[in-house]
């Protein structure tokens, strides 16, 4: 799996401030992602070119598809909530870290139908982020528990091996992607990939059917695939300096989609990076896996 892919193309000049959380929905044959800072959920169907978006009452960090048709589980800045696409009905499940200056960040559904996500420190008045956030799991019965992993400043790179037995994650400022044995319990963690030699940071990830981890590297303009043993396999250039998260989708799950961000770029930087915030894609010689769906049941009603 080391042949050169087709060059990455621009699918949609979305102008996202902080495009993130992209997943492929096999039922809808469409991509969903979020512009976190704009509090907007996006959907794009590649076959028709149709694009939709929904404004939300607060920032949307990440989300999961649901087994229940027409619903998503949202990780909003302060809470988890079910969202009904048809009418915008929103039903809060629980608050997250209400006593800490944090917000929800990266998240992914595990192979057992549970939603795993992390948080991000938002220091009052700015300043460096501190490792005070955590990683959490919402089970199908809607119970929430903190996973016994180290505290983080910026949670990222959440992904699961094809058999569901390994969890990948990172605290982006440390520049180390870590992994651990995963199931009903979580095993000891270890370093998976040490990226302290790069100038950027590891951001979102996805896993292919062969167990390779695809990681978007913020500030580096690239997505890198790593073998299950941590060896670098290939580097795919992205035509924007701040790629945020990859997803494997398309009808045959062999298209690599990547979101990106304009966040933090001044006018001069944007002039040098005109596609910042766009959605990109490239055909690759790897296949993805169907996106896991949250097994919990949304309420019968909901509050718009």
CA distance 301 to 304: 10
Q: Which residues pair with 156 in a beta bridge?
A: 170
| 3 state SS of 131 | coil
The answer to whether 96 and 77 are in contact (CB under 8 A) is no
Q: Is 2 annotated as a binding residue?
A: no
CA distance 118 to 207: 18
Catalytic residues, by residue number, are 203
> Which of 120, 220, 112 shows the shortest CA–CA distance to 167?
112
- Residue 143: CB atoms within 10 A of its CB come to 12
Q: Cα dist. 14→104, 199, 218, 289 in Å?
A: 23, 26, 18, 26
Lookup: tokens for 86: 């048809």
Q: Is 20 annotated as a binding residue?
A: yes
CA distance 34 to 21: 6
Q: Which residue has the tokens 């209400």?
A: 98
| 3 state SS of 174 | helix
The answer to whether 294 and 64 are in contact (CB under 8 A) is yes
Q: Is 105 annotated as a binding residue?
A: yes
CA distance 261 to 258: 10
Binding site feature residues for a divalent metal cation: 20, 156, 203
Binding site feature residues for substrate: 103, 105
Binding site feature residues: 20, 103, 105, 156, 203
């Amino acid at each position: 799996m080391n042949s050169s892919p087709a060059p990455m193309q621009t699918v949609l000049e979305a102008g996202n401030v902080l495009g993130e959380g992209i997943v492929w929905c096999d039922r809808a044959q469409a991509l969903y992602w979020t512009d976190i800072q704009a509090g907007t959920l996006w959907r794009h169907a590649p076959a028709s070119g149709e694009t939709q978006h929904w404004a939300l009452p607060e920032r949307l960090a990440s989300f999961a598809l649901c087994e229940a048709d027409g619903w998503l589980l949202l990780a909003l800045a302060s809470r988890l909530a079910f969202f009904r696409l048809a009418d915008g009905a929103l039903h809060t499940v629980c608050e997250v870290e209400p006593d800490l200056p944090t917000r929800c960040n990266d998240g992914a559904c595990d192979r057992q139908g549970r939603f795993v996500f992390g948080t991000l420190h938002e220091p009052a008045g700015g300043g460096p982020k501190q490792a005070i956030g955590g990683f959490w799991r919402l089970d199908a019965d809607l119970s929430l528990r903190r996973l016994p992993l180290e505290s983080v400043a910026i949670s990222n790179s959440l992904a699961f091996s094809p058999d569901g037995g390994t969890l990948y994650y990172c605290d982006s400022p440390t520049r180390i992607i870590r992994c651990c044995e995963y199931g009903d319990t979580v095993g000891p963690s270890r370093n998976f990939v040490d990226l302290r030699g790069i100038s950027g940071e590891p951001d979102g990830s996805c896993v292919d059917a062969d167990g390779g981890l695809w990681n978007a590297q913020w500030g580096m303009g690239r997505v890198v695939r790593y073998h299950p043993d941590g060896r670098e396999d290939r580097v795919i250039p992205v035509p924007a300096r701040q790629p945020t998260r990859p997803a494997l989708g398309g009808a045959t799950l062999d298209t690599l989609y990547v979101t990106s961000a304009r966040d933090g770029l001044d006018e001069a930087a944007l002039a040098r990076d005109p596609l910042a915030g766009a959605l990109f894609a490239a055909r690759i010689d790897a296949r993805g896996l169907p996106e896991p769906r949250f097994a919990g049941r949304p309420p019968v009603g909901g509050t718009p």
